[in-house]
Structure 1
Amino acid sequence: MAPPSPVTHPAVLLRHVVTALAGPFVDLLAAPRGVELPLEAVAIVEPDDTTALRPGTLALVIGVRGRAALRPLLAAGRAGAVAVAVRTDPDAAGTEALRRAAAECGAALLGVREEARWEQVAAVARTLLDVAPPTAEFTEQQAHGDLLSLVQTLATLTGGIISIEDAAGRVLAYSRSDDQVDEVRRMSILGHACPEDYLSFLRDSGVYARLRAGEEVLDVPERADLGARRRTAAGIMAGGRLLGTIWTQEGAVPLAGRTPEVLRGAARLAAVHLIRRPRDPALDTALREEFAAGLLAGRVPAGSLAACLGVSPDGAVTVVGIDLRDGPEQPAGPALAPALRRSRAAEIASVHAAAYRRTAVAAQLDGRLYVLLPEGDHDPRPAADPALLAWTSDLVGTLRTHLAPAAQAAVTARAPRLAEAPKARGTADRMLAVLARSPDRTVASYPDLRASVVLGEVLELLDEHPGIHDPALDVLTAYDRKHGADLAASLLLYLDAFGDVARVAERLHIHPNTLRHRVRRAVELTGIDLDDPEQRLVAMLQLRRTPGGHPA
């Protein structure tokens, strides 16, 4: 008997499940073969029993976490599992060991978050599989038909006039209606998108912000001036992302009493349809952002992001790091929760990035925002491209105006290969730490801060090797602690200023003779020779590592 034919156009791919789960439930920790892989089943696996696994499975390994999951992870991968989900723990080395194991066996690795329950993860994944169409290929026309069927059912159950829009306000499906429709609906259908003035009202009044926050069904009051009757709205969510919205416009009669409950269930069904729509722009963006964050964190190979973006993994990349720290004054309007503010900032950055370069992608990671800008193999632009700096300055200006009044951005040097993006991210973080000392400054390029960044790297190396130090300088730290003195900081400032006593004394608000006395006392205690350039260099490096020794 001939072997079964391979599935050439699977209805469900691993990326569909990753998109649905990423965020509140799991983190994509590794994808050695990418995510365009067919998924055929979900299996809950005990650590000592992987016999139920077959190729094409998502294996949920329960009962162990961290390093203890290494053996079942490898066994599942060797059995042909497409992906393995495990609980991770705070041990970074353990997580790295799991990533290496995933790379070895070829299975994608999903880290299940502490607050997520296994039954939730299994339910979402199985829902995607259970609604798979009988045919191998899930076409756009089939997806559209499913949504049309859903809106007609909704119209019957609610007594309202229904439309489903994607996250950008584009109309995907709408129910049959008569002359009861209002101007907003009429314009949305004719233009295939919600009118901009009504979109602005929804954004400014916080409707979209509330829809993004969860499964709340909102009552949107009538706006006669905008041609809008009363509406009820529900967000279509997956993986903590807003994929679209369902709108129920009130007609000649009030909406049915169960409308909120019906909309909540319909939104969950619509999420499945939208996730499964091939090449859906909103989901492509979500996957790009997930892969970009994974690459920057070192958990996803460069090839996965390169495939999503349509670029060469051997091409260069520039990373822009953005710190959204709060300032003394907040923007006007209601305060946003930090997570929502970062999400809004990422949306703004994504729009700016797409306008600047087609392959640019924004990602959130560890409380900061990053924009990756892949380039060609032989990009002729200078490392400190004026156009890129101007674009970054414009983006930071927008963020400062609307979300984070103290936002700052760092533009790294061009990394020669996409795989070096994590290293570039580290450089961006060091640059942002330097920028934080100058809060009025908005943007800096790597050449602007090169010396400070290199110095920071040198100090990090010294911190990793505490045995490399001059014990004579330890005396200063002990003396300052015992006597409440300030010899270490005073000596460092004196060395930094090339011995300009007047300037340092003015900065410290002390008499020049007081500074001279401190320097003499430091020399007496340590025995260093300030005329020796090597001793001065060692003192300047070590004093920067000393608590309280940094220049004020």
Structure 2
Amino acid sequence: MNTDSPFHRNFDSLEEFVDAVSDRLQCPVTLEDANHHLLAYSSHHDSTDEARISTIISRRVPEKVINRFWKEGIIPKLNQTDEPLVIKPIEDIGLGNRVAISIRRKEEVLGYIWVIDLEGSLTEEDLEDLTLAASKAKNQLQQLNRLRKNKEKNHGELLWQIVTGEAGTHKEIQAQLREIGITTDRSLAVVSFRTQHLDDSLRKKLAYAAQTSQKVEMLIQTFDHDTSLFLVSPRKEGDYEREVLEFSRTLQRRIQGDLDIWSGCGSAVTDYGSLPASYEEAVKVAELKQRFPDELKEVHFFHELGVFRYIDLLERSGKLQELHENPAITKLKNYDREQNSSLLETLEAFLYKDGNMNETAKLLHCHVNTLNYRLKRIQEISGVKLKDPVQKLGLYLDLKLSKHVR
């Protein structure tokens, strides 16, 4: 290791630290936090690349670059080692030859140092000094991390006050948001993610995915038991549903494989007094998707729930137990039990596939002729008319109530 390393001293700012690293390595350097927001960067040398320029302009690493780093396994490798990692050029995202190192406290990633080395000229001694620089940056980033966590905790408490209606009127909420630096001349919405086991590791993954996604602007996040809440704002007014759908899918893609996760998106509102309603929509969609994963897997918004909106209303009315089971369902249950058949399953599949014979037969693994025979028997035994849309809708709702609710 170089005994004359410039890192054996204190630095007044992150900018001074980054310039020292850049001077030592004779390469452009950027310093990011754990969510890839730019903290400091050195002045340009003759060598730079498109990815660095975009990062400096937007003050964060472009999402396409982050996604590619995950796909190539670069970020997972960085997160698991204290050693520098040499990264080859990736031309389609504007990335030149890089060397990167994570700044870690035990197992927690605090940030990253990125060095542009277009000529591949860094030596082993240079890499040793880069490792020393990362160690030196640890204390300063720990302080920033502590401040960030305290800020997020306070913001999270405000979000709970807003969604529970305790934060007051539109103007009162506006004032409180302005106090924490959030502009209030735009629409806001609540997005909810629900899991069975939301431990600390998954909280960190969700928070990271939300912070690094650039589909919508993520303003506040908070977590409670099995639910994650995000206050978001569309980047382009009038395009909220498309943007928040991409945001939701991005988070699910990042978490995929860890466990099941169900999302719900509330309506975007300009009257912040309506944010509790946006919250209720988001949470209800996520809850119902957990209960009806097959039927609602393509649903993201409350207005897309269709007949399942009324299941929720019936449950909240307290009158659900007063509803008698549909006689047609009772007859089919009895017939199936006596004949060891599966007509009720056939009916449910037929209704689920909206009467599409080929799709229903495929789902049931039977021939269309067999399905035709079963449907004929269903109508004979139960007395229902499967061409009547009113009866079909009623049967579908009754089946869901019978199977999942009662």
TM-score of the pair, normalised by structure 2: 0.55
Identify which of 427, 449, 452 aligns with 2:281.
Answer: 427
Counterparts of 2:12 and 2:299, CA distance in 1: 43
Q: 1:501 to 1:338 in 2, by over 3 A?
A: same
Pair 1:324–1:493, CA change in 2 (3 A): closer
Change (3 A) 1:317 1:287: same
On the 8 A contact 1:342/1:367 being kept in 2, the answer is no
Write the distance in 2 (CA, Å) between the matches of 1:193 and 1:352: 28
Q: CA deviation at 1:339?
A: 1.3
Residue 472 of structure 1 and its aligned partner are, at CA, apart by: 0.7
- Counterpart CA distance in 2 for 1:343 and 1:417 is 31
The amino acid of 1:462's aligned partner reads: L
One-letter identity of the residue aligned with 1:319: V
Aligned to 1:455: 307
Separation in 1 of the partners of 2:336 and 2:17?
68
Identity of aligned residues (%): 16
Q: Mark the CA change 1:479 to 1:302 in structure 2 (over 3 Å): closer, same or farther.
A: farther
Can you give the 5+ residue segments of structure 2 that lack an aligned partner in the other structure? 22-29, 35-76, 83-103, 110-126
Match of 1:465 among 305, 319, 323: 319
* Matching residue's letter, 2:7: E
Tell me the residue number matched to 1:364.
Answer: 223
Q: Which residue of 2 aligns with 1:228?
A: 132
SS at match of 2:231: strand
* Cα drift, residue 458 of structure 1: 1.1
Answering whether residue 371 of structure 2 is matched by residue 510 of structure 1, we say no
Aligned residue among 335, 342, 351 for 2:203: 342
CA contact (8 A) 1:384 1:445 kept: no
Give the aligned partner of residue 40 of structure 1: none
Relative to structure 1, the CA distance from residue 191 to residue 486 in structure 2 (aligned partners, 3 Å threshold; closer, same or farther) is same
Query: Which structure shows the higher helix fraction?
Result: 2
How far apart are residue 342 of structure 1 and its match?
A: 1.0
One-letter amino acid of the counterpart of residue 153, structure 2: A
For residues 14 and 183 of structure 2, the distance between their equivalents in structure 1, rounded to whole angstroms, comes to: 40
- 3-state DSSP class of the match of 2:307? helix
Among candidates 309, 317, 320, match of residue 177 of structure 2: 309
Q: Distance in 1 between matches of 2:239 and 2:193?
A: 18
CA contact (8 A) 1:342 1:364 kept: yes
Between the aligned partners of 2:247 and 2:313, the Cα distance in structure 1 is: 34
CA distance in 2, matches of 1:389, 1:282: 27
Amino acid in structure 1 at the alignment position of 2:307: L
Question: What's the Cα RMSD here?
Answer: 5.1
Instruction: Please name the residue that 1:523 is paired with.
Output: 379
TM-score with structure 1 length normalisation?
A: 0.42
CA distance in 1, matches of 2:387, 2:205: 55
Secondary structure of the 1:364 match is strand
Give the SS at the match of 1:454. coil
Conserved? CA contact 1:314–1:417, under 8 Å: no
- Cα contact 1:318–1:372 (8 A) shared by 2: yes
* Cα displacement (A) at 1:540: 2.1
Match of 2:191 in 1: 320
Determine the C-alpha separation between the residues in 2 that align with 1:548 and 1:230. 54
Question: In structure 1, how many angstroms separate the alpha carbons of the residues matched to 2:136 and 2:240?
Answer: 49
SS at match of 2:269: coil
Change (3 A) 1:388 1:541: closer
Q: Residues 358 and 368 of structure 2 are in contact (CA less than 8 Å); yes or no, is this contact kept in structure 1? A: yes
> 2:219 corresponds to which letter in structure 1?
A
8 Å CA contact 1:350, 1:361 repeated in 2: no
Change over 3 Å in CA distance of 1:348–1:188 after alignment to 2: farther
Q: Residue by residue, what CA displacement relative to the aligned partner does 1:148-198 show, whole Å, maximum 9, x if unpaired?
A: xxxxxxxxxxxxxxxxxxxxxxxxxxxxxxx98852755675626677679
Asked whether the equivalents of residues 198 and 226 of structure 1 are also in contact (C-alpha less than 8 Å), the reply is no
- Equivalents in 1 of 2:106, 2:282: separation in Å? 30
Report the CA distance shift for 1:468/1:192 in structure 2 as closer, same or farther (over 3 A): farther
Q: Deviations 1:304-335 (Å, cap 9, x if unpaired)?
A: 76444216999742223345789xxxxxxxxx
